[in-house]
Amino acid sequence: MLPLLPGVVPFGLIAGFTPVSFGYTWIDSTMGSLLMFAGASQLATYQLMDEGASLWVILMTVAAINLRYVLYSASIAPYLANANRASRLLAGYGLTDQIFAICQRDYPTHDWNLNERMAYYGGGTLVLWLLWQLCTLAGALIGQVIPVFWSLEFMIPLTFLALALNTLRTNAHRVTALTGAGISFLGLELPYNLGLMLGSLLGMLAGLLYKRFSR
Amino acid sequence: MTNGFLIVVALAGLVTLALKCAFIEGQHYFKLPQWFTDSLELVPPAVLCALVIPGIFQDDIGLVNAFGPVVIDPKPIAAGIAAITFFTTKKTIPTLIVGMASLYAVYWLQI
């Protein structure tokens, strides 16, 4: 778990101070982290709220960003299926890229019983959760004293940029990204953040078509 | 506390929780259809790239609000330099630092 933790710190600080830089309080920011506990979608929610996006655009975007969790939970579910409902709900809330990476690596290679698997999952998640909450709280408190001209709100698109570029593993991913960005750019003036929605959908479509016809 | 903010964040939290629990909570886990898995891996580049664009091309940065506008918007140039940094270093933190430094540099060079 330790090697995965340093990457959480700057992201947590950014997620913490962003709502504050948009004029919300540190309590709002902390509640955001507690209720969502999902970095990229927290940032997307804050950015879209600041742009005045409608609720359904925000929720659709959050759902799209978090779709990967369906895959994660599908791959981990067989190991946790017999746990009680409250534990499964807590495990769901605590699911992150990091804990998925670790459990996916270690569950199949260890002969653990359910309690041991839950303890492994819970321990890792608790460490990550505490670190995330502390970092977002620190970010929110720092955000209150940083003057507006520091322009730290620009860290959001920069963070998304780095996350996006990190996904460009194959040509299909590159086609998806270029189409998504291009359509989003052309649709900047469209109402209701349609540019964002169209960019995401047509980007995926372009990537799928590329995959299909490049075989 | 800001009620509107909390309502949106709570609903977004519910959507997140529903997706995270999709299979952990559903007892009948089954194999996802291949087309669904294939599409899923393309969601991050599509959504993240579409999200980056308004942040780069819309709204004024705090510098502009505090000290006034400049001829060339520093955001797209800073984002371009940040992208080059990511491609060379493959690391997020240098990308953020270089991006922010470029933003300040391009703004102040025009003052």
Residues A123 and A174 occupy one common structural domain: no
The count of domains in chain A is 2
Evaluate if residue A86 carries a pLDDT over 80.
yes
Residues A51 and A108 occupy one common structural domain: yes
Residues A109 and A184 occupy one common structural domain: no
Residue A161 lies in a domain: no
DSSP state of B32: P
Most B-contacting residue of A154, A167, A169 (CB-CB within 10 A), to test interface: A154
Q: Residue B70: list chain A partners with CB under 8 A.
A: none
A96: nearest Cα among A128, A127, A57 = A128
Residues A14 and A99 occupy one common structural domain: yes
Residue A114 makes CB contacts below 8 A (sequence gap 6+) with A80, A82, A83
Q: Residue A68: list chain B partners with CB under 8 A.
A: 40, 43-44
Q: Where are the domains of chain B?
A: 1-28, 31-109
Q: From the list A77, A151, A162, which residue is nearest B61 (CB)?
A: A151
Burial B27-56 (b: 16+ CB within 10 A, else e): eebeeeeeeeeebebbbbbbbbbbbbbbbb
The nearest CA of chain B is from the CA of A203 a distance in Å of 5
Whether B5 and A74 lie within 8 Å, measured CB to CB:
no
d(CA B92, CA A158): 9
Domain span at A73: 1-147
Residues A7 and A94 occupy one common structural domain: yes
ipTM of predicted complex: 0.88
Low-confidence ranges of chain B (pLDDT < 70): 27-31
Most B-contacting residue of A25, A150, A158 (CB-CB within 10 A), to test interface: A158
Residues A60 and A119 occupy one common structural domain: yes
Q: Quick one: residue A193, left, alpha or beta (phi over 0 = left, psi -120 to 50 = alpha)?
A: left
Q: Which two tokens stand for residue B16?
A: 């997140």
Residue A176 lies in a domain: yes
pLDDT in tens, B48-67: 999 899 999 988 888 998 89
Residue A7 lies in a domain: yes
Residue A53 lies in a domain: yes
The residue from A95, A119, A147 where one domain ends is A147
If one counts every other C-beta atom within 10 angstroms of the C-beta of residue A114, the result is 13
Residue A160 lies in a domain: no
Residues A41 and A108 occupy one common structural domain: yes
Contacts 24+ apart (CB under 8 A), A78-83: A78/B29, A79/A103, A79/A107, A79/A117, A80/A114, A80/A117, A80/A118, A80/A121, A80/B24, A81/B24, A81/B27, A81/B29, A82/A114, A83/A114, A83/A118
- Residue A111 DSSP SS3: coil
DSSP state of B33: P
Q: What is the pTM of this model?
A: 0.83
Residues A4 and A75 occupy one common structural domain: yes
Residues A130 and A78 occupy one common structural domain: yes
Q: Which helix (H) or strand (E) holds B57?
A: helix B43-57
pLDDT score for B30:
61
pLDDT in tens, A67-78: 888 878 888 888
d(CA A155, CA A10): 10
